[in-house]
Amino acid sequence: MALMKPVKPVGITGYGAYVPRYRLSGQAISELWTGGNVTPPVNEKAVPGLDEDVVTMSIEAARNAIARAGYADPGFSSASLGAVWVGSESHPYAVKPTSTIVAEAIGATPYTQAADWQFACKAGTEAIQAAIGFVGSGMTAYALAIGMDAAQGRPGDALEYTAGAGGAALVIGPAENALVEIEGSVSYVTDTPDFWRRQYEKFPEHAGRFTGEPAYFHHITSSVTALLQAMHLSARDFAYAVFHQPNVKFPLKVGEELGFTLEQLRPGLLVNEIGNTYAGSSVIGLTAILDIAQPGDRILLASFGSGAGSDAFCLRVKKTVPAKHVWTTHEYVQRRTPIDYAQYARMKGNYKLN
């Protein structure tokens, strides 16, 4: 059976995003490597500062999620988290978990489960699926799932234009106290090597046109179609939809193929302003939608991870949280400091002096 539902109803108790303030324009990349002869696929992308990485950004997003969860459920605190999971393809350590540092910083230690997740761009929703299972089985009351990346792109490669930084965190808990109920999900995976990075390699490789078909479009279409059929729903039943955002064209095209309108897609489409945040791409789009969604709204979330797979979720909003004291996703997007390519290269460590 394709549809997955936990034994106990589960929902999103709190959510939070984080995006670094620094922005590099696609035109600056094009001018350096092609003399301006390539039209950038996105306007600009977010770049981590010198003191930022997946750990620091995950902590910021987690604190925002915890703040909202405390409002939604007064009985919740960071000590309630029975699991802290961070999905990323740019963990700062090869051997040392990101999740334990995050758990310590937010006050979830020592009695919690901690783990790092990897599945390319769907590492964040992979952590969400596991959190649903943990909470839905009764193993713990709450779990924290994070999708965050400071993605690398080889200088001059097509990925450099879109590989941005940022992501989001979700507190998963009992549906009765949640902001959003998770009504069901479907996961669809195959062995499709469209994108990879071997051990000890700094930059990822990709299979060019195969990243569209048979990778991105086939997997998202398959997971979403199975979810809609299993739940007897259609695109018309959703107020919003958000898909993985490697560029502007792909989510718009797959959304149209599945019957979704631009009005349903636009609120969660952030890639033109912050780039592809990889493990956080679809999840940060969800947080932007949750900032404006109203009770009763149904939301479709569908990720894609190279290698390859897609997780699709049917969500229904139950209640909202005032924005007071918690940054909205668009406030992070709009907070921007432009930088040039030389500053970007220094921040990313692309060039070493020794």
Positive or negative: CA dihedral 235, 239, 243, 247: positive
Whether the CA torsion 26, 27, 33, 37 is positive or negative: it is: positive
Under 8 Å CB-to-CB from 221, ≥6 apart: which residues?
Answer: 254, 257, 258
- Choosing from 60, 121, 160, 206, the catalytic residue is 121
Active site residue 31: no
Q: Is there a contact between 178 and 12 (Cβ–Cβ < 8 Å)?
A: yes
- Non-local (6+) Cβ contacts of 328 within 8 A are 288, 291
To the query of whether residue 244 is one of the catalytic residues in this protein, the response is yes
From 140, 206, 167, 178, select the one nearest 286 (Cα to Cα). 167
CA distance 33 to 91: 28
Confirm if 167 and 56 have CB atoms less than 8 A apart. Answer: no
Residues 155 and 41: their CA atoms lie apart, in Å, by: 16
DSSP state of 103: H
CA separation for the pair 172, 178 (Å, rounded): 8
- Contact call for residues 282 and 244 (beta carbons, < 8 A): yes
Kindly report the backbone phi and psi dihedral angles of residue 264, in degrees, each rounded to the nearest multiple of 5, phi listed first.
Answer: -75, -30
Token pair for 311:
């997780």
- Nearest residue to 151 via CA among 70, 87, 233: 87
Q: Which of 44, 52, 60, 89 is catalytic?
A: 89
Question: Is 314 a known active-site residue?
Answer: no
Looking at the DSSP assignment, which residues form a beta bridge with residue 310? 188
Look-up of token digits 């049917």: 314
Q: Which residues are catalytic?
A: 89, 121, 244
